[in-house]
Structure 1
Amino acid sequence: MNLDFRLVIFEGIIEIDRVPIYECEEGCFYEVFPAIKEDLKELLASLKQQGKTGRVIFTEMNELAHFIFEIYRTWDEGEASSFEALLEQKSNEHINLLLDLYGCAKSMNDTEWMNETSNRLAQMSNIVKDRQFSEVNQRFPY
Structure 2
Amino acid sequence: MELELRTVVYAKKVEIRNVPVFACTDCVSYEVLPPVKPDLTECINTLGEQPVKQDVSFGERNELADLFHELLLAWPDATDREMEYRMQQAVEERINLLLDIMGYATKSGDAAWIETTERRLSQLSGFVWQEYFSNAV
Scaled to the shorter chain, the TM-score interval is 0.7 to 0.9
Partner residue in 1 for 2:18: 18
Partner residue in 2 for 1:134: 131
Q: How many residues of Structure 1 are paired with residues of Structure 2 in the alignment?
A: 134
**Structure 1 unaligned regions, length at least 5:** none
The alpha carbon displacement at 1:30 in A equals 1.0
Whether the 8 Å contact between 1:34 and 1:130 is mirrored in structure 2 is no
The alpha carbon displacement at 1:13 in A equals 3.1
Whether the 8 Å contact between 1:59 and 1:66 is mirrored in structure 2 is yes
Across the aligned residues of Structure 1 and Structure 2, the Cα RMSD in angstroms comes to 2.9
**Counterpart AA for 1:134:** E
Partner residue in 1 for 2:54: 54
> What is the TM-score normalised by the length of structure 2?
0.79
Question: Matches of 2:69 and 2:90 in 1, distance apart?
Answer: 12
By relative contact order (CA 8 Å, sep 6+), the higher-ranking structure is 2
Alignment of 1:1-142 (within 5 A): 1-26=1-26, 28-48=28-48, 51-77=51-77, 81-125=81-125, 129-131=126-128, 134=131
Whether the 8 Å contact between 1:4 and 1:21 is mirrored in structure 2 is yes
Query: Which moves more between the two structures, 49-58 or 61-70?
Result: 49-58
When residues 117 and 130 of structure 1 are mapped into structure 2, their CA distance, relative to the original with a 3 A threshold, is closer
The alpha carbon displacement at 1:64 in A equals 2.4
The alpha carbon displacement at 1:48 in A equals 1.3
The alpha carbon displacement at 1:80 in A equals 9.4
Counterpart secondary structure, 1:82: helix
> What is the TM-score normalised by the length of structure 1?
0.76
